[in-house]
Amino acid sequence: MSSSFPDHFSAVADAYADFRPRYPDALFDWLAAAVDSRRLALDVATGNGQAVAGLVDRFERVLASDASAGQLARMPAWTNVETRCEPAEQLSAADDCVDLLTVAQALHWFDHPRFFAEAWRVLRPGGLIAAWCYQQFASDDAALDLVLETYYHDVVGAYWPPQRAWVEQGYATLDWPFAELPAPAFTLEADWSRAQLLGYLGSWSATRLAGEATGRDPRAAIVPALERLWPDDETRRLRWPLKLRVGRKGMNLV
């Protein structure tokens, strides 16, 4: 494992596993239909396997790699999944063997030239790479959305690692050395209680870093407003637009 790996998530592995929204089935249906072979998928920076859950029933085998041992320890056991603790820039998969390589909410942490070279190496000719992210989310309550925007930008905004800028751009300005494929729009949705929302905010790297810097839980700043807007016994539907980039391995790395 690279000593420079910015492990923001092993310390919050439980929260990440319990309080992250699930990716839509439609995303994985579309990706599975876009490849011409489903022998092997590789999910890089897999975390606790949220993307793997959408791959296991659509591919014969799945490799799930992550540099965080704490995250891998929280992954469910699937019979056709092999986990590997390794950084994204040093993949152990063989050359030209992967039909689909996925990166969910993690590409911004990588050394991009080194990772893309590795992705190119392990993808078979014609194989696909798909990387996606999600940033801020919204409800059907404008007042609640304002509280959440205030938390994101004002309460913990100064504690976001610099790589967060890639997420805010939806990876749109990232150099993409693959033949780009147009992709449909997808949205994550979750019906959550107020406690689940607070658990999700606790899984943010900025929440953890703000707590370490100040010695107090930054979520406390918005709890009174949340309690006024969101009764204990209610669930609210939250939505996260997914930003997706998809590419195909051609003849030459561009």
Q: Would you place residue 20 in the very low, low, confident or very high pLDDT band (cuts 50, 70, 90)?
A: confident
**Which pLDDT score, from 0 to 100, does residue 70 have?**
86
Total domains in the fold of the chain: 1
Across the range 109-116, mean pLDDT stands at 96
Residue 216 forms part of a structural domain: no
Closest CA to 96 of 122, 115, 116, 120: 122
pTM of the model: 0.87
List of long-range contacts for 33-40, beta carbons under 8 Å, 24+ apart: 34/128, 34/181, 34/246, 35/99, 35/100, 35/127, 35/128, 36/126, 37/99, 37/124, 38/99, 38/100, 39/99, 40/97, 40/98, 40/99, 40/100
- What is the rounded distance in angstroms from the CA atom of residue 170 to the CA atom of residue 144? 23
Site of tokens 């609640």: 144
Residue 67's domain comprises 10-137+161-189+239-248
**Which pLDDT score, from 0 to 100, does residue 14 have?**
53
Residue 65 is part of a domain; what is its CATH number? 3.40.50.150
Share of the chain above pLDDT 70, in %: 91
Residue 34 forms part of a structural domain: yes
Query: Comparing 108 with 7, which gets the higher pLDDT?
Result: 108
Backbone angles phi, psi at 25, to 5 degrees: -60, -35
**Residue 125: pLDDT above 50?**
yes
Question: What percent of the residues of the chain are helix, what percent strand, and what percent coil, each to the nearest 5?
Answer: 35, 25, 40
For the ranges 71-75, 200-204, 219-223, the one whose mean pLDDT is highest? 219-223
pLDDT, tens digit (0-9, with 9 covering 90-100), for 28-61: 999 999 999 999 999 999 999 999 999 999 999 9
DSSP-derived 3-state class of residue 155 = helix
DSSP-derived 3-state class of residue 61 = strand
Site of tokens 């751009």: 169
**Which pLDDT score, from 0 to 100, does residue 250 have?**
84
Tokens encoding 241: 């637009």
Q: Would you place residue 124 in the very low, low, confident or very high pLDDT band (cuts 50, 70, 90)?
A: very high
- What is the rounded distance in angstroms from the CA atom of residue 125 to the CA atom of residue 127? 5
CB 93 within 8 A of CB 99: no
Residue 166 forms part of a structural domain: yes
Across the range 116-144, mean pLDDT stands at 95
Q: Classify each residue of 15-26 as buried b or exposed e, where b means 16 or more C-beta atoms within 10 Å of its C-beta.
A: bbbebbbebeee
Across the range 195-213, mean pLDDT stands at 94
Residue 224 forms part of a structural domain: no
Across the range 59-67, mean pLDDT stands at 97
**Which pLDDT score, from 0 to 100, does residue 251 have?**
58
Residue 5 forms part of a structural domain: no
**Residue 5: pLDDT above 60?**
no
Helix residue ranges, H only, 85-141: 112-122
Residue 154 forms part of a structural domain: no
Q: Would you place residue 3 in the very low, low, confident or very high pLDDT band (cuts 50, 70, 90)?
A: very low
Residue 31 forms part of a structural domain: yes
Q: Strand 81-85 vs strand 61-66: parallel, antiparallel, or unpaired?
A: parallel
Tokens encoding 99: 């039909």
Across the range 61-70, mean pLDDT stands at 94
**Residue 229: pLDDT above 70?**
yes
Q: Would you place residue 183 in the very low, low, confident or very high pLDDT band (cuts 50, 70, 90)?
A: very high
Residue 2 forms part of a structural domain: no
**Residue 214: pLDDT above 60?**
yes
**Residue 9: pLDDT above 50?**
no
- What is the rounded distance in angstroms from the CA atom of residue 212 to the CA atom of residue 174? 31
Quick one: CA dihedral 157, 68, 110, 96, positive or negative? Answer: negative
